[in-house]
Amino acid sequence: MAQQDQEAAAARRPSRRLFLSATAGAAVPLALTGPARASAPRPAPRATRPLYIGTYTSSGGPGIDIAAHDPATGALTRTSALSLADPSFLAASGSGLLYAVNEYRDSVTALTVPGGPRVLNSANTGGSGPCHLVVHATGGHLLTANYGSGSVAVHALAADGRLGARTDLVQHTGSGPDPDRQRGPHAHMVLNDPAGAFVLAVDLGTDTLYTYRLDTRTGRLAAVSQARTRPGAGPRHAVFHPSGRYLYTADELGDSLTVCRYDPGTGRVTPGAVLPTVAAGSGGTTRNYPAEIVLSPDAAHLYVSNRGHDSIARFALDQDAGRPTLLDTVPAGGSTPRHIALAPGGDWLFAANQTSGTVTVFARDRTSGRLTPTGPPYPVKAAACVLPA
């Protein structure tokens, strides 16, 4: 029991969950116009897209903050919020559904989107500290990574998106060399491969990438293979190249990016080159913890958020060899960029800055991949995740 208590404490230590003490207010912009001419038609309102922002309510966040994103200017305008306990990660389903982890409630929640997000139901994950989730490629199951207990849960999904019974719970075992963060397994992400044939789990505590196959009839995971990254790397999140030949991991503890080869026929991962996410000599004295990693729609550029350095790294990708080259880093516009995401089409990048309680919007040049901040960051307390629709 003492070992479990120590593991639970490590899962919530400040190096991973930086809690906030100051509140952040937000003013809703007002459009000011002069007298209208009788002969002049009113301009049609610009179409906006919703941006869902998951926050830590245990640190004062509103739950799920919902903003309207103007794709012409990049501006965010608050529209509403949904009170939900610690929705630190969100995932969408194409059928108008959202799923959220409730990190400190050890549960997940299903929501319907049309007409404004509304809770359908919640379910326990069977583990502690759920921090990431994904809908399986076939759409019939939800998979959740439990960070605290180092396990992967599977829930069946009903036709209307509600969570059904938990059909499986796979427990990882092992440890790593970091005495504070790797005394046991810590599953940090679960994702589908590009073909939808395999499921991969990224475990920070054991420096391991696990490959599974999901039986869609029973909802159970079958182990396929394991790949160990370098000791102490602490892989956190990963992204596939659309070719299915490469997988890239953001290594939280190793302050690095690892390039892996992937065999789409067998699901086998082979870790390879390790690259820095900050240029040599520019890191300063603060330890850096890479967090999220995303790939542009054309697979020409890769982006990694750096916590500590508080920046977004931009890499160019060699389309034949799949090898990234670090081009530059840009300030995140806030402190502790825990999560980044690209808007559909790839013209905008959003950064959730957890400690400063802000979301920065960057315009992205499609040719060069260069990021340019659009204006003052959008204030939202304890921002943990951004999900553009």
Q: State residue 46's pLDDT score.
A: 66
- The end-to-end CA distance of the chain, in Å, is 43
Higher-pLDDT residue of 12 and 251 is 251
Residues 214-238 pLDDT 10s: 999 999 999 999 999 999 999 999 9
18 pLDDT tier (thresholds 50, 70, 90): very low
Residue 41 has pLDDT above 80, yes or no: no
53 pLDDT tier (thresholds 50, 70, 90): very high
Residue 176 has pLDDT above 50, yes or no: yes
Q: Which residues of 281-311 are buried (b: 16+ CB within 10 A; e: fewer)?
A: eebeeeebbbbbbbbbeeebbbbbbbbbbbb
Residue 295 has pLDDT above 80, yes or no: yes
Q: State residue 296's pLDDT score.
A: 98
71 pLDDT tier (thresholds 50, 70, 90): very high
Of 2-6, 177-181, 235-239, the range with the lowest mean pLDDT is 2-6
Residues 197-216 pLDDT 10s: 999 999 999 999 999 999 99
Q: Distance between CA atoms of 32 and 234, rounded to whole angstroms?
A: 50
Q: Which residues of 29-55 are buried (b: 16+ CB within 10 A; e: fewer)?
A: eeeeeeeeeeeeeeeeeeebebbbbbb
Residues 102-132 pLDDT 10s: 999 999 999 999 988 999 999 999 999 999 9
Q: State residue 284's pLDDT score.
A: 73
Question: What's the rounded mean pLDDT across residues 350-369?
Answer: 98
Q: State residue 45's pLDDT score.
A: 54
Average pLDDT, the chain: 90
Q: State how beta strands 163-171 and 151-157 pair.
A: antiparallel
Q: With contact defined as beta carbons under 8 Å apart, do 136 and 96 qualify? A: no
Domain map (residue ranges) of the chain: 47-83+276-389
Residue 112, token pair as written in the block: 């319907």
Q: With contact defined as beta carbons under 8 Å apart, do 237 and 189 qualify? A: yes
Q: State residue 285's pLDDT score.
A: 78
Which residues share a beta bridge with 130?
146
DSSP string for 258-301:
EEEEEETTTTEEEEEEEE-SS-TT-S-SS--EEEEEEE-TTSSE
DSSP string for 340-366:
EEEPTTSSEEEEEETTTTEEEEEEE-T
Residue 179 has pLDDT above 70, yes or no: yes
Q: Distance between CA atoms of 332 and 352, rounded to whole angstroms?
A: 9
Residues 250-289 pLDDT 10s: 999 999 999 999 999 999 999 999 999 999 888 677 899 9
Helix (H) or strand (E) holding 31: none
Residue 24 has pLDDT above 50, yes or no: no
Residues 56-70 pLDDT 10s: 999 999 999 999 999
4 pLDDT tier (thresholds 50, 70, 90): very low
Question: What's the rounded mean pLDDT across residues 44-49?
Answer: 75
How many Å separate Cα 151 from the centre of its chain? Answer: 18
Q: State residue 22's pLDDT score.
A: 34
Which residues share a beta bridge with 374?
none
Q: State residue 278's pLDDT score.
A: 96
Question: 118: how many CB neighbours lie within 10 A of its CB?
Answer: 11
36 pLDDT tier (thresholds 50, 70, 90): very low
Express as a percent the part of the chain with pLDDT over 70.
88
Question: What's the rounded mean pLDDT across residues 25-31?
Answer: 33
Question: What's the rounded mean pLDDT across residues 150-159?
Answer: 98
9 pLDDT tier (thresholds 50, 70, 90): very low
337 pLDDT tier (thresholds 50, 70, 90): very high
CA distances from 251 to 5, 102, 243, 309 (A): 25, 24, 22, 14
Q: Distance between CA atoms of 80 and 269, rounded to whole angstroms?
A: 42
Give the alpha-carbon dihedral of 164, 168, 174, 180, to 10 degrees. Answer: 10
Q: How many helices (H) and strands (E) does the chain have?
A: 1, 29
- Entry pTM: 0.89
Q: State residue 95's pLDDT score.
A: 82
Class of domain 47-83+276-389: mainly beta
Residue 27 has pLDDT above 70, yes or no: no
Amino acid at 51: L
Collapsing DSSP to helix, strand or coil, 59 comes out as helix
